[in-house]
Amino acid sequence: MAAFCQRPACDERADVNPECYSCRSEHLCGGTRKTQMKTELSYKIEALPGGWTGETLRQDSGWTMTWSAEELAGLDSALAHCAKRKLNWRDLTRENVPLNQALQEKLARIAHELEEGRGFVKVEGLQVARYSDDQLRLFWYGLGCHLGYPRFQDSRGQLMREIKDEGGDLGSRHGRIVTGGSGDEFLSSKARTYGPGKLRFHTDRCDVVGLLCLGQAKSGGLSRIASSIAVHNAILEQRPDLLDLLYRPYTRSRLGEEDGGEAATYDLPVFGLRNGKLTSHYSRTYIEAAQLQPGIAKLTPAQWKAIDLLAATAERLSYAMRLAPGDIQLLNSHVTYHAREAFEDAPAEGLTRRLLRLWLAMPNSRALPEDHRVLWGDVAAGTLRGGIGQEPIA
């Protein structure tokens, strides 16, 4: 169902369409009815199992999985298969990397938990010291091909990103805006991932984002996650008027996504509903970058207050975890926000934070509101969507 109601103008006797944020606004589809009608009915999302909080996760170990001996044997068999055929990780597909039954069943459980359960999974127990970097990339990308469909993470064909502190001039390599006469530098979201600084709560442009930890920093670098369902419902209870604004479009910049992206924008709400399922796409960096561009309407104080409340609520309800080498974290971007604390490496001591990231489209993904097509490309359930568009080859 489209985010804007396609019916004739509503009046005071008309039913509320719970998937149309226009129907919940102050002037409903051309009518004059006010916001007070059926607010909770229109907005309330079933809290469990996806509406967890940091407090409930501390009493729940069901989101952590480990590899069994049979599953690890299947991994070694798949790596031997790749070595025999001299396959590079970029050559891998679901068809040319066989997995044993145990691994297939584990991935099916993971996919179900991501879409129908808590919306995230942590898998422990891979001994990274047993494998070379090439083998770990083969394992991780091959696993991604069986779990979903890898999507591009930049405009130049990047399918796997190594997240680490690159150092140097990140803005010139990965995107920035230099503001006015002050010469201040505003870094793109991509540039920030390649530095050691704090990353604020955000979602990635994919159904599922996966991280394989290869090494950890000397200090810091904790991963923080928050349920966007829990955040949504908490805002509903506290400030339903601000939640209404989050169902309306915010202008975002494509800074760092493609060449010239700092001049390209699109409009998208933070929250959307379809078939009773929530989706949230939020990155304050992209919103702030758009506000630095000429010709873009300035956010109202209430709009800023709405995303301030979202960020504060995500922080309050979040859960922090430290990923150890070999740990895998998988997050459903539609229902989970993630953040990262600042970190400090100590290369001389062998303590360097390195993670391999995959973006996946999922065959069991949810349908999205029609107005999300501008970001996702396709909004039908289970389709190949998300990721970054590719530059044409000259």
Burial of 159 per CB tally in 10 Å (0-12, 13-18, 19+) = middle
Res 2: pLDDT: 29
Interval 166-175 mean pLDDT: 74
Is pLDDT above 70 for 292?
yes
| Backbone φ, ψ for residue 372 (5° rounding) | -85, -5
Poorest-pLDDT segment among 232-241, 243-252, 286-295, 314-323: 286-295
pLDDT, one tens digit per residue, over 202-257 is 999 999 999 999 999 999 999 999 999 999 999 999 999 999 999 999 999 887 66
Give the pairing type, strands 354-361 and 149-150: antiparallel
Is pLDDT above 50 for 26?
no
Give the pairing type, strands 328-332 and 319-321: unpaired
Q: Architecture of 50-376 per CATH?
A: 4-Layer Sandwich (3.60)
| Backbone φ, ψ for residue 14 (5° rounding) | -75, 150
Res 8: pLDDT: 31
Poorest-pLDDT segment among 29-43, 296-310, 325-339: 29-43
Res 22: pLDDT: 40
Res 244: pLDDT: 94
Strand ranges for 23-142 from DSSP E: 64-66, 120-124
pLDDT, one tens digit per residue, over 116-125 is 999 999 999 9
Provide CB contacts within 8 A for 182, sequence distance 6+: none
Where does CATH 3.60.130.10 sit in the chain?
50-376
41 falls in which pLDDT band (50, 70, 90)?
A: very low
Give percent of the chain with pLDDT exceeding 90: 71
Give percent of the chain with pLDDT exceeding 70: 83
- Whose tokens are 């530098």? That residue is 185
What's the mean per-residue pLDDT of the chain? Answer: 86
Is pLDDT above 80 for 385?
yes
Res 202: pLDDT: 96
- Assess contact for 197 and 213: CB atoms under 8 A: no
Amino acid at 392: P
Instruction: Give the span between the Cα atoms of 227 and 318, in whole angstroms.
Output: 7
Instruction: Give the span between the Cα atoms of 187 and 205, in whole angstroms.
Output: 18
Here the tokens at position 120 are: 């995230």
Res 394: pLDDT: 53
Instruction: Give the span between the Cα atoms of 108 and 115, in whole angstroms.
Output: 11
C-alpha 207: how far from chain center: 7
Buried b or exposed e, range 64-75, using 16+ CB within 10 angstroms: ebebeeebbebb
Q: How far apart are the first and last CA of the chain?
A: 39
Is pLDDT above 90 for 196?
no
How much is the pTM?
A: 0.86
262 falls in which pLDDT band (50, 70, 90)?
A: low
Res 13: pLDDT: 32
